[in-house]
């Protein structure tokens, strides 16, 4: 629970190492002024899809800030839209939040508060702040005016409190047809901010709700339910993205007019039923969305990719859902690092995808043990070792961190090396193996290429090399320098594996931009997934699912969560060791 993590850090972080963003600044001031005794936040996803990388920013802020200031954060599923929630998505969201390293204080649903919201609506009517309207949605739109023209009052706006109460109770009793009546806030049809032109509070929808069944024929609107849910849970800082900035006056209007802290009669029944509610007056603060180049951050479009079979599901490693990134081998630490580095502001921008990759590399460089694997094999035979020669070599698991320990790697006369580590006609500056050239075999010694064996199609089938025995570890020539070092695996010990090589799902930085006359779907990169047959040193095959390794010189890989088995290994490449995309694009 958040209380444990909360204990880890004192409430007031020293100014010196305090993060400088404006939200933390506001919170620090609120604490200093005694405005709040504790910080309470919430993360409010709509469970109509899996979370994506953009949500990670909101999660890191909502949960991260609560933790930093020794408060707590609720996970609240926004299920005001009946029929949209899927239990699969609810479980997925919970799992993803935990994967990112956070734990909620309470798990709530907006629908937990339907009764409170209903009672609050009655209060609004009694106070003359809401009315039942008979205009249909189309008429309502017409009366609403435009950005340049004020709206007009509905002919039903001046109904008496008694009439409104009677009609609203009948709406609740299910007496009217869908869309035939609406409960609206009575604010100002001429307001410059369109959100204040008597927005809807309740609409009639006779749809079975996943959590409340058929108990309600009316459902509250998001703008109404969200702010009051915040107030009811005692949320102090309600962090959301910039598109809600124009909704803030409405947020405050509902919070003030309903005034939950001073009206316990509206929520006492919840407390009686065991809910730990301590209503407060929340403050909404907006920040800019996280947008990444070469990615789509819209649940609707991600759902379309899944539903049209353009990817292999929500957790396809090409997807920028948290599930997908996880399956790809990205780390929660790398994602948190990205969010921390980018900071928080009100400036909308598109972040280069390469920055995310770099954060993941940085995290994995420190955290991933090293192994050897060959993904495009070429046979190398060491002719001066006897047939059947076998050794067990000791390799450190991490070049910079001894605590990773070491492992045994079998070595034998026949090896697999990477095909691209040999060039029959080497380009200028090629420091790997070439005819009559020398190269160091990682952890073994220096080999010289004496002979090429060709296949009937003219391609190189095999290299015959000699090993300079004097260059082996512990021998006088062990320090002899050659320019290149290459990795290898013992052919007879290696375990065959499916290696899935992933690239960016879109081949343009802003797939959403339709100015080029193409739809976003036309920018899908057909080469974003490639499966090859590779060879692993035996200890890599033994990995448990989700174990991440650096395969030396190839990149960071993860044993697939679902498909990997030691006897038939499946590894996904998370990232290459360096940013090859940028160089490729500039070539
Ligand atoms: P989408 O536009 O993908 O459907 P959404 O905003 O409708 O996303 P919600 O489930 O309502 O998705 O989002 C939950 C929370 O996550 C909200 O507070 C929202 O502001 C935040 N959020 C969503 N997308 C991003 C993003 N790209 N960057 C930062 N926060 C985001
Ligand atoms: Mg939303």
Does any domain span residue 15?
A: no
Residue 1 — pLDDT band, cuts 50, 70, 90?
A: very low
The pLDDT of residue 20 = 78
Q: Tell me the ligand closest to 55's alpha carbon.
A: 1
Does any domain span residue 582?
A: yes
Taking 60 as the threshold, does the pLDDT of residue 250 lie above it?
yes
Last residue of a domain, one of 464, 487, 510: 487
**Whether residue 53 is found in the same domain as residue 156:** yes
**Whether residue 97 is found in the same domain as residue 187:** yes
**Whether residue 362 is found in the same domain as residue 377:** no
The pLDDT of residue 515 = 87
Question: What is the per-residue burial (b if ≥16 Cβ within 10 Å, else e) of 461-498?
Answer: eebbbbbbeebeeeeeeeeeebeebbbbbbbebbbebb
**Whether residue 47 is found in the same domain as residue 146:** yes
434 C-alpha to ligand 1 centroid (Å): 54
From 44, 45, 96, give the residue whose CB has the most ligand 1 atoms within 8 Å, as the site to mutate: 45
Q: Tell me the ligand closest to 59's alpha carbon.
A: 1
Q: What angle do CA 245, 28, 363 make, to 5 degrees?
A: 85
The pair of structure tokens assigned to 327 is: 């399956």
Last residue of a domain, one of 236, 257, 289: 289
**Whether residue 198 is found in the same domain as residue 245:** yes
289 lines ligand 1 (CB under 6 A): yes
- In this structure, what are the phi and psi dihedrals at residue 184, rounded to the nearest 5 degrees? -125, 150
| Residues of the domain holding 383 | 373-487
Residue 3 — pLDDT band, cuts 50, 70, 90?
A: very low
Taking 60 as the threshold, does the pLDDT of residue 160 lie above it?
yes
Does any domain span residue 3?
A: no
241 lines ligand 1 (CB under 6 A): yes
Does any domain span residue 10?
A: no
Query: Binding site for ATP: residue ranges?
Result: 46-48, 52-58, 241, 289-290
Of the candidates 226, 221, 233, 340, the residue with the CA atom closest to the CA atom of residue 284: 226
The pair of structure tokens assigned to 318 is: 């090409």
Q: The domain that contains 236 carries what CATH number?
A: 3.40.50.620
324 lines ligand 1 (CB under 6 A): no
Query: Binding site for L-glutamine: residue ranges?
Result: 78, 222
pLDDT digit string (tens) for 347-375?
888 999 999 999 999 999 999 999 999 99
Does any domain span residue 14?
A: no
What's the N-to-C CA distance of the chain in angstroms? 51
The span from the CA of 229 to the CA of 239, in Å, is 13
Q: Per the structure, how many domains does the chain have?
A: 3
**Whether residue 242 is found in the same domain as residue 345:** no
**Whether residue 141 is found in the same domain as residue 117:** yes
45 lines ligand 1 (CB under 6 A): yes
Q: Beta partners for 551?
A: 371, 555
Q: The domain that contains 342 carries what CATH number?
A: 2.40.240.10
Q: Beta partners for 575?
A: 556
Taking 80 as the threshold, does the pLDDT of residue 2 lie above it?
no
pLDDT digit string (tens) for 513-533?
888 899 999 999 999 999 999
DSSP classification of residue 104: -
Contact call for residues 209 and 83 (beta carbons, < 8 A): yes
The pLDDT of residue 6 = 36
287 C-alpha to ligand 2 centroid (Å): 15
58 C-alpha to ligand 1 centroid (Å): 7
Contact call for residues 409 and 539 (beta carbons, < 8 A): yes
pLDDT digit string (tens) for 399-439?
999 999 999 999 999 999 999 999 999 999 999 999 999 99
Provide the whole-model pTM: 0.93
The pLDDT of residue 337 = 97
Over pLDDT 90: what percentage of the chain?
Answer: 91
pLDDT averaged over the chain? Answer: 94
298 C-alpha to ligand 1 centroid (Å): 8
58 lines ligand 1 (CB under 6 A): yes
pLDDT digit string (tens) for 17-63?
566 799 999 999 999 999 999 999 999 999 999 999 999 999 999 99
- Mean pLDDT, range 133-141, rounded to an integer: 95
**Whether residue 334 is found in the same domain as residue 468:** no
**Catalytically annotated residues:** 46, 289, 299
Last residue of a domain, one of 433, 452, 487: 487
């Amino acid at each position: 629970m958040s209380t444990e993590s909360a204990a880890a850090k004192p409430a007031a972080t020293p100014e010196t190492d305090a993060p400088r963003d404006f939200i933390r600044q506001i919170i620090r001031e609120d604490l200093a002024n005694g405005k709040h005794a504790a910080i309470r936040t919430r993360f409010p996803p709509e469970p109509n899809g899996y979370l994506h990388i953009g949500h990670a920013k909101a999660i890191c802020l909502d949960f991260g800030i609560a933790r930093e200031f020794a408060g707590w954060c609720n996970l609240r599923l926004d299920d005001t839209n009946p029929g949209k929630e899927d239990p699969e998505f609810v479980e997925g969201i919970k799992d993803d939040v935990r994967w990112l390293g956070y734990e909620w204080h309470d798990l709530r649903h907006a629908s937990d508060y339907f009764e409170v919201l209903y009672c609050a609506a009655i209060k609004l009517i009694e106070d003359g702040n809401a009315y039942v309207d008979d205009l249909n949605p189309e008429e309502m739109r017409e009366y609403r005016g435009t950005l340049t023209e004020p709206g007009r009052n509905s002919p039903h706006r001046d109904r008496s409190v008694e009439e409104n109460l009677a009609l609203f109770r009948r709406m609740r009793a299910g007496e009217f047809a869908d869309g035939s009546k609406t409960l609206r806030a009575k604010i100002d049809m001429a307001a410059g901010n369109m959100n204040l032109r008597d927005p809807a509070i309740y609409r009639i929808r006779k749809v079975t709700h996943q959590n409340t069944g058929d108990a309600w024929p009316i459902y509250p609107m998001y703008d109404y339910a969200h702010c009051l849910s915040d107030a009811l849970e005692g949320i102090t800082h309600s962090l959301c993205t910039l598109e809600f900035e124009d909704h803030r006056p409405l947020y405050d209007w509902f919070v003030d007019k309903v005034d939950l802290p001073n009206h316990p009669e509206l929520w006492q029944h919840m407390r009686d039923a065991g809910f730990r509610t301590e209503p407060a007056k929340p403050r909404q603060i907006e920040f800019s969305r996280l947008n990444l180049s070469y990615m789509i951050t819209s649940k609707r479009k991600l759902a379309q990719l899944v539903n049209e079979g353009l990817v292999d599901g929500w957790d396809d490693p090409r997807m920028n859902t948290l599930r997908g990134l996880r399956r790809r081998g990205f780390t929660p630490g790398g994602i948190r690092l990205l969010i921390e580095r980018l900071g928080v502001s009100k400036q909308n921008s598109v972040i280069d995808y390469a920055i995310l990759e770099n954060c993941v590399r940085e995290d994995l460089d420190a955290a991933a043990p090293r192994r050897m694997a060959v993904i495009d094999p070429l046979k190398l035979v060491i002719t001066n070792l006897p047939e059947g020669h076998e050794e067990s070599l000791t390799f450190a698991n991490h070049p910079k961190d001894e605590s990773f320990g070491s492992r045994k790697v079998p070595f034998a006369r026949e090896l697999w090396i990477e095909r691209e580590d040999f060039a029959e006609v080497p380009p200028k500056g090629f420091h790997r193996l070439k005819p009559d050239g020398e190269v160091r075999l990682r952890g073994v010694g220096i080999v010289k290429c004496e002979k090429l064996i060709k296949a009937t199609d003219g391609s190189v089938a095999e290299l015959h090399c000699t090993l300079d025995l004097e260059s082996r570890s512990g021998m006088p020539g062990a320090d002899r320098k050659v320019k290149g070092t290459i990795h290898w695996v013992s052919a007879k010990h290696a375990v065959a594996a499916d290696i899935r090589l992933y690239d960016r799902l879109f081949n343009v930085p802003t797939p959403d931009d339709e100015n080029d006359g193409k739809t976003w779907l036309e920018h899908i990169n057909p080469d974003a997934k490639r499966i090859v047959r590779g060879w692993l040193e035996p200890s890599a095959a033994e990995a448990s699912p989700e174990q991440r390794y650096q395969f030396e010189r190839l990149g960071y890989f993860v044993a697939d969560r679902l498909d990997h088995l030691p006897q038939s290994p499946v590894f996904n490449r998370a990232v290459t060791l360096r940013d090859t995309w940028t160089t490729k694009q500039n070539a």
